[in-house]
Amino acid sequence: MKVIKKLFLPTSYVDNFTNITPARLNQLGVRAVIIDLDNTLVGYDEMDANEKVIDWFKLMNDNDFKVTIVSNGKKKRVSNFADPHDIDYIFNAQKPLSRNYKKAIRLMGVPKNETIMVGDQLMTDIFGANLIGLKSVLVIPVKSRDGYATLLNRRMEAIIMRYFRKKGLLVKED
């Protein structure tokens, strides 16, 4: 079970990406954020950034945090979401493979130990971050429904989450 913990346990667990504040990032020694798109920032079926997302992007920018969206989504989906807000992105990221996590870190020009991954899935976002030693934050999905491709991941994730909760390893932060 040590392997499960090493591969899937996030650094932090919060309700929503908006809980990730400049103060919290400073506590973690972080200057750059890699963030998932679908069901992390908005629902997988929402095409545009809402006011909450736009305000968070602005807050990060105003406090000199770099942000890059790393998504398994298609180019059109990710670019249409990110471009209006001048947010860097990587599409078809093939998470949890590490190549595009490393690419995002290079693009932001911030050391790995000052970068964090934020996402809603243990099986892609957190697993990928843990594979390369990135800090990570698991957020509760913004919608209870997922795209078809995510359903199997969610079933496996539920088993792992039960184990973490039973062992007292996964405690939600404010």
Q: What is the pLDDT of residue 5?
A: 87
Residue 134 lies in a domain: yes
Decide: 31 and 110 in contact? Cβ < 8 Å. Answer: yes
| CA pair distance 36, 46, nearest whole angstrom | 14
pTM of this structure: 0.93
| CATH code, domain with 143 | 3.40.50.1000
Residue 123 lies in a domain: yes
pLDDT, tens digit, 9 for 90 and up, residues 9-57:
999 999 999 999 999 999 999 999 999 999 999 988 888 999 999 999 9
Residue 93 lies in a domain: yes
Residue 174 lies in a domain: no
Q: Count structural domains, the chain.
A: 1
Q: What is the pLDDT of residue 63?
A: 98
Which range marks the domain in which residue 142 is found? 2-166
> How long is the chain?
174
Residue 78 lies in a domain: yes
Q: What is the pLDDT of residue 148?
A: 60
Q: In the chain, which stretches have pLDDT less than 70? A: 144-151
Residue 27 lies in a domain: yes
Residue 173 lies in a domain: no
Q: What is the pLDDT of residue 4?
A: 83
Residue 22 lies in a domain: yes
DSSP code string of the chain: -HHHHHHH--SEEESSGGG--HHHHHHTT--EEEE--BTTTB-TT--S--HHHHHHHHHHHHTT-EEEEE-SS-HHHHHHHHGGGT-EEE-S--TTSSHHHHHHHHHHT--GGGEEEEES-IIIIIHHHHHTT-EEEEE--SSS---GGGHHHHHHHHHHHHHHHHTT------
